[in-house]
Amino acid sequence: MLVNNVFRQNSFYTALYQMIPDNHILKQIDSAIDLSFVNDLLADRY
**pLDDT at site 31:** 92
What whole-number distance in Å separates Cα of residue 12 and Cα of residue 30? 19
**Cα 28–Cα 34–Cα 35 angle in degrees, nearest 5:** 110
Q: Please give the DSSP secondary-structure letter assigned to residue 31.
A: H
The domain spans of the chain are 19-44
Q: List per-residue pLDDT tens for the chain, 46 residues long.
A: 566 666 665 788 888 889 999 999 999 999 999 999 999 999 999 8
What whole-number distance in Å separates Cα of residue 20 and Cα of residue 26? 9
Half-sphere exposure of 32 (CA within 13 A, CB side): 8
